[in-house]
Amino acid sequence: MKKDNSKPIGIFDSGLGGLTVLKEVRKLLPEESLVYFGDSGRAPYGTKSADTVRAYTRQDIAFLLSKGVKAVVVACNTAAACAGRDLLDSFGVPVVDVIGAGSELAVSLTSSGNIGVIGTSATVASGVYERAVKALLPGCGFYAKACPLFVPLVEEGWWDDEITYEVARRYLEDIGDVDTLVLGCTHYPYLEKVIGEVTGGKIALVNSAKAVAGKLEQTLEKEGLRNKDGKPVTEYYTSDSVEKFSSLGKLFLGELGGNVFRADPEDFT
Catalytic residues: 76, 185
Q: Which of 103, 164, 186, 207 binds ligand DGL (CB under 6 A)?
A: 186
Q: Which is nearer to ligand DGL, 76 or 182 (CB)?
A: 76
Report the residue number, 41 or 230, with the smaller CB distance to ligand DGL.
Answer: 41
13 near ligand DGL, judged by CB under 6 A: yes
Secondary structure (H, E, C), 94-132: CEEEHHHHHHHHHHHHCCCCEEEEEECHHHHHHCHHHHH
- 164 SS3 class: helix
Amino acid at 19: L
Which residue in 7, 9, 14, 33 binds ligand DGL (CB under 6 A)? 14
| 59 part of the interface to ligand DGL, by CB under 6 A | no
Residues 225-264 that bind ligand DGL (CB under 6 A): none
CB of 88 to ligand DGL, least distance (A): 15
Question: How far is the CA of 125 from the CAs of 46, 68, 117, in angstroms?
Answer: 10, 33, 12
Of the candidates 233, 182, 198, 212, the one whose C-alpha atom is nearest the C-alpha of residue 73 is 212
215 contacts: CB under 8 Å, gap ≥ 6: 96, 100, 101, 104
In the complex, least distance from residue 106 CB atom to ligand DGL, rounded to whole angstroms: 16
Smallest gap from residue 245 Cβ to ligand DGL (A):
14
Region binding ligand DGL by CB under 6 A among candidate stretches 110-118, 181-189, 241-249, 255-263: 181-189
Name residues whose C-beta falls within 8 Å of residue 76's C-beta, 6 or more positions apart in sequence: 12, 13, 14, 17, 18, 45, 57, 98, 186
Select 9 or 12, whichever has its Cβ closest to ligand DGL: 12
Query: Is the CB of 119 or the CB of 226 nearer to ligand DGL?
Result: 119
What's the burial of 134, exposed, middle or buried (CB within 10 Å: 0-12/13-18/19+)?
middle
Q: Is 40 in the site for ligand DGL (CB under 6 A)?
A: no
Alpha-carbon span 31 to 231, nearest angstrom: 6
17 binds ligand DGL (CB under 6 A): yes
Size of the site for ligand DGL (CB under 6 A): 18
Residue nearest to ligand DGL (CB): 46
Please report, as residue ranges, which positions from 115 to 174 form the binding site for ligand DGL (by CB under 6 A): 119-120, 123, 151
Q: What is the DSSP letter of 224?
A: T
Q: Which helix (H) or strand (E) holds 261?
A: strand 259-262
Q: Can you give 168-188 as a three-state secondary structure string?
A: HHHHHCCCCCCCEEEEECCCH
Within 81-120, the residues that bind ligand DGL by CB under 6 A are 119-120
Helix (H) or strand (E) holding 11, with range, is strand 9-13
User: Which residue of 10, 38, 46, 265 would you call a contact of ligand DGL, by CB under 6 A?
Assistant: 46
Q: Which residues bind ligand DGL (CB under 6 A)?
A: 13-15, 17, 43-46, 76-78, 119-120, 123, 151, 185-187
